[in-house]
Amino acid sequence: MRKRIAIIVAALIILAGGAWLLDLPARLGLRRAQSDALTLYGNVDIRQVELGFRVSGRIKTMHFDEGDSVTAGALLAELDASPYESAKAANDALAAQKAATLDKLVAGPRPAEIDQARANVAERQADLDNAQRAYDRARSLRPAGVVSQQQLDDATAAKNMAAARLASSQQALRLLEEGTRPEDIAGARADLQSAQANQASAATQLADTQLLAPADGVVLSRVREPGAIVAPSDVVYVVSLNRPVWVRAYVAEPQLGQVHPGLAVTVTTDTAPGHAYHGHVGFVSPVAEFTPKTVETQELRTDLVYRLRVIVEDPDQALRQGMPVTVAVPQGTATAQGG
């Protein structure tokens, strides 16, 4: 009897040791098997963007409602563009005027203007010659008393004025022949650049009366309606972007060495546990924090964890903002690629 009991005890000990070696407790759920995939838990994080106009005005049209899908570059809404069209037309005209002024200065005087100035010099020269003869005649007759001193003085003044007019016309001709001063051209060019900058600003403001979708997404909120007056800081639409789709997950400190940026993972949801999404770790926080209340771990206890971001490579409409998901690192990958 004792021998039989001893044999039974020995057999139990052998079975227990074999079960332990075969990792039977892990199969029974008593502890996690050492070769199992690393499992993390988190929530879907989808970017949202609040859209508004960069200029103020009255909303003319709204083209999308809540729940509508939009593509990148789609026209979402428009402002009444009349004030901005008028401002652009005024700036266009001013820029054209400044351009014409610069072209005129660069081209310099026309040949006809120079010819006119030369003719004016010749006319002034003739006036001076005539005044000189009258002066010479009066001066020669003055000693004999034929002309009075007043007449001589008048002839002298007429000669001097004719000489001054001739000098003025000669200087005007010289200026025309030398052309436009470089400083005048530089000033006109600066005026044109300023006008062109105002022209571009007016064109930008006119374009900003149209609100375009920055990326593919779904309209979450239609905040304003046609006829409303909006300022540049007012939100008109709230759009949920289709990409990127992230998962905000947490890894416990003991498993931190098993994850790193670029690590391939799979993501599953409670809604469709049989469908796995492919992704990779895009970011691991360098700062530890306590386990958030919204994240459940198998240990069900508060512990230090590190936040990480998983980028889902093949998202679809089934992934919703805030949805809880399970992130699994394929068996052997975490150990092989981990730090």
Which sign does the torsion angle of CA 276, 277, 278, 284 carry? negative
Q: Are residues 252 and 267 in the same domain?
A: yes
Report if residue 216 sits inside a domain. Answer: no
What is the per-residue pLDDT for 175? 78
Q: What is the tally of structural domains in the chain?
A: 3
Report if residue 201 sits inside a domain. Answer: no
Report if residue 247 sits inside a domain. Answer: yes
Q: Are residues 282 and 253 in the same domain?
A: yes
3-state secondary structure the chain: CHHHHHHHHHHHHHHHHHHHHCCHHHHCCCCCCCCCCEEEEEEEEEEEEEECCCCCEEEEEECCCCCCEECCCCEEEEECCHHHHHHHHHHHHHHHHHHHHHHHHHHCCCHHHHHHHHHHHHHHHHHHHHHHHHHHHHHHHCCCCCCCHHHHHHHHHHHHHHHHHHHHHHHHHHHHHHCCCHHHHHHHHHHHHHHHHHHHHHHHHHHCCEEECCCCEEEEEECCCCCCEECCCCCCEEEEEEEEEEEEEEEEHHHHHHCCCCCEEEEEECCCCCCCEEEEEEEEEEEEEECCCCCCCCCCCCCEEEEEEEEECCCCCCCCCCCEEEEEECCCHHHHHCC
* Owning domain of residue 293: 37-48+243-337
Task: Supply the CATH number for residue 302's domain.
Answer: 2.40.30.170
The residue from 179, 205, 230 where one domain ends is 179
The residue from 149, 179, 209 where one domain ends is 179
b/e 103-124 (16+ beta carbons within 10 angstroms → b): eebeeebeeeeeeebeebbeeb
**338, 305 Cβ separation under 8 angstroms:** no
ω before 315 within 30° of 0 (cis)?
A: no
Report if residue 192 sits inside a domain. Answer: no
Q: Are residues 328 and 247 in the same domain?
A: yes
User: What string of pLDDT tens digits covers the 339 residues of the chain?
Assistant: 566 666 665 655 665 555 444 444 444 443 444 445 688 888 999 889 999 999 999 999 999 999 999 999 999 999 999 999 999 999 999 999 999 999 988 888 888 888 888 889 888 888 888 888 888 888 888 887 778 888 888 889 998 998 999 889 888 888 777 777 889 889 999 999 999 999 999 999 999 999 999 999 999 999 999 999 999 989 999 999 988 899 999 888 888 888 889 999 999 988 888 889 999 998 898 888 776 655 555 454 446 788 999 999 988 888 888 889 999 887 655 443 433
The residue from 163, 179, 195 where one domain ends is 179
Report if residue 322 sits inside a domain. Answer: yes
What is the per-residue pLDDT for 112? 83
Token pair in block for residue 240: 């949920």
Report if residue 73 sits inside a domain. Answer: no
Q: Are residues 5 and 42 in the same domain?
A: no
Task: Supply the CATH number for residue 152's domain.
Answer: 1.10.287.470
CA distances from 126 to 109, 161, 267, 304, 317 (A): 25, 13, 103, 106, 96
What is the per-residue pLDDT for 155? 86
- Supply φ then ψ for residue 293, to 5 degrees: -65, -25
Q: Are residues 166 and 247 in the same domain?
A: no
Report if residue 210 sits inside a domain. Answer: no
Q: Are residues 166 and 250 in the same domain?
A: no
What is the per-residue pLDDT for 213? 96
Who contacts 245 (Cβ-Cβ below 8 Å, separation ≥6)? 44, 45, 46, 311, 312, 315, 319
Which sign does the torsion angle of CA 168, 170, 174, 177 carry? positive
Report if residue 225 sits inside a domain. Answer: no
What is the per-residue pLDDT for 9? 58
